[in-house]
Amino acid sequence: MGSISLSHVNKSFGDVQVIPDISLDINDGEFVVFVGPSGCGKSTLLRLIAGLEDTTSGTILLDGQDMTKAPPARRGLAMVFQSYALYPHMTVRDNIAFPLKMAKASKEVIDQKVEYAARTLNLSSYLDRRPRALSGGQRQRVAIGRAIVREPKAFLFDEPLSNLDAALRVNMRLEITELHQQLKTTMIYVTHDQVEAMTMADRIVVLNAGNVEQFGSPLDLYKKPANRFVAGFIGSPKMNFVDGPEAAKHNAHSIGVRPEHFKLSRDNVPGTWKGKVGVAEQLGSDTFLHVHVGGLGLMTIRTDGDQTFAHGDEVYLTPDQTRIYKFDAAGKAI
């Protein structure tokens, strides 16, 4: 079991209030991602749940039990750190076995669980090495192995993939998702990368300056962003925003259109936005056009990879009328 419930959690470092007031309910078995820009308090929130930081006020329940004041060792959670945080003086085997030794498991149980974890994570042939002699991806696997063996109530990940190169990151992302499907244990995963959030999460918590902007499934956030911040943060490339008279036509303070929700043509159609292509980024499958639109600024448009627009071409943009997001003056969706 591993349900986690935060109620009115506040955290200040001295006079600096990092998390003003957060309440959250995470269900048993859920994969929840905390996403937000750097410095918004994701790690702090995770560390509060872990018990590595003390809450200033508010309560944290694990499986309905008040754990607000419990030390990390008693919470029964496992954490995977960005820096891996392996014990450099121990072999891979001893690293993975450490939580079991702390739990005073018998030698047979330890051996059996370590072997099993090593096999699952493809580490069997490295068990007698020191962490120093492993690659980044292998170190990350050891850190995950160390977390798995203690069969925690929940796994906490703090940007575990950000020290890996891009290709490895995609692989490990899949492995962690598979691990979740296999173990069905609650996981909380912190990242600043919205692609990781969208691809991995059952539900996403979007954080901004210590506040929860929205908590929902990836598609919910994409289709029904609660405000302009979420709309701009979720989706890649970023949503295009337009203020002023063009927004007023839709009875809104500002409107947003995603790059993939435009029709593009070379012919002048009434009611369209006329622009000039600045940079065309060709990815093969897609092409991203950065178009200067008179009076509205720079817009990013996503087209399929076969389009042959080039720098300086004149284009006409038609936003998909059913997919225009409207926001009021405070940035709330209407």
Partner 1 sequence: MARTVSTRTRIGFTALAWIVALLLFSPILWTILTAFKTEAEAIASRPTFFPETFTLENFGAVQDRSDYIKHAINSILVSVGSTLLGLAIGIPAAWAMAFAPTKRTKDVLMWMLSTKMMPAVGVLIPIYLIFRDLRLLDTVHGLTLIMTLINLPIIIWMLYTYFKEIPVDILEAARMDGAELWNEIVHVLVPMAVPGIASTLLLNVILAWNEAFWTITLTSGRAGTLTAFISSFSSPQGLFLAKLSAASLLAIAPILLMGWFSQKQLVRGLTFGAVK
Residue 43 in contact with Mg ion, rule: CB under 5 A: yes
How far does the chain reach from its first CA to its final CA, in angstroms?
A: 38
Q: How far apart are CA 155 and CA 189, in angstroms?
A: 8
Closest CB to partner 1 among residues 143, 207: 143
Which residue, 23, 25, 13, 24, is CA-closest to 56?
A: 13
For every residue of 222-284, DSSP letters joined together read: HHS-SBHHHHHHSSSSPPEEEETHHHHTTTSSEEEE-GGGEEEESS--TT-EEEEEEEEEE-S
Q: How far apart are CA 33 and CA 197, in angstroms?
A: 6
- Contact residues for 242 (Cβ-Cβ < 8 A; gap 6+): 254, 255, 256, 257, 296, 297
Scored b (16 or more CB within 10 A) or e, 119-155 reads: ebbebeebbeebbeebeebbbbbbbbbbbbbbebbbb
Least separation, in Å, of the C-beta of 46 and Mg ion?
8
Partner whose binding site includes residue 39, from partner 1, Mg ion, ligand ADP, none (CB under 5 to 8 Å by kind): ligand ADP
CA angle 205, 207, 208 (to 5 degrees): 160
Residue 186 in contact with Mg ion, rule: CB under 5 A: no
Closest CB to Mg ion among residues 82, 199: 82
CA distances (Å), origin 135, targets 125, 168, 175, 323? 14, 11, 17, 45
Judged by CB under 6 A, the residue of 44, 55, 185, 300 near ligand ADP is 44
Least separation, in Å, of the C-beta of 100 and Mg ion?
28
Judged by CB under 8 A, the residue of 70, 85, 168, 324 near partner 1 is 85
Least separation, in Å, of the C-beta of 42 and Mg ion?
5
Residue 160 in contact with partner 1, rule: CB under 8 A: no
Least separation, in Å, of the C-beta of 73 and partner 1?
5
Partner whose binding site includes residue 121, from Mg ion, partner 1, ligand ADP, none (CB under 5 to 8 Å by kind): none
Partner whose binding site includes residue 146, from ligand ADP, partner 1, Mg ion, none (CB under 5 to 8 Å by kind): partner 1
Residue 88 in contact with partner 1, rule: CB under 8 A: yes
Closest residue to ligand ADP using C-beta atoms: 43
Calculate the dihedral angle through the C-alpha atoms of 30, 105, 82, 187, rounding to the nearest 10 degrees.
0
Least separation, in Å, of the C-beta of 55 and partner 1?
17
Closest CB to partner 1 among residues 142, 252: 142
Closest CB to ligand ADP among residues 38, 106: 38
Give me the residues paired with residue 275 across strands: 293, 315
Strand 57-62 with 154-158, pairing: unpaired
- Burial zone of 28 (CB within 10 Å; 0-12 exposed, 13-18 middle, 19+ buried): middle
User: Within positions 14 to 43, which residues make up the interface with ligand ADP, using CB under 6 A?
Assistant: 16, 18, 36, 38-43
User: Within positions 103 to 122, which residues make up the interface with partner 1, using CB under 8 A?
Assistant: 103
Residue 13 in contact with ligand ADP, rule: CB under 6 A: yes
Least separation, in Å, of the C-beta of 259 and ligand ADP?
26
Which stretch, 12-20, 170-178, 260-268, 316-324, contacts ligand ADP (CB under 6 A)?
A: 12-20
- 299 by DSSP, 3-state: which? strand
* Residues of the shown chain interacting with ligand ADP in the complex, contacts defined by CB under 6 A: 13, 16, 18, 36, 38-44
By CB under 8 A, name the binding residues for partner 1: 50-52, 71-73, 77-79, 81, 83, 85-89, 98-99, 102-103, 146, 150, 156
Q: Name the residues that contact Mg ion, by CB under 5 A.
A: 43
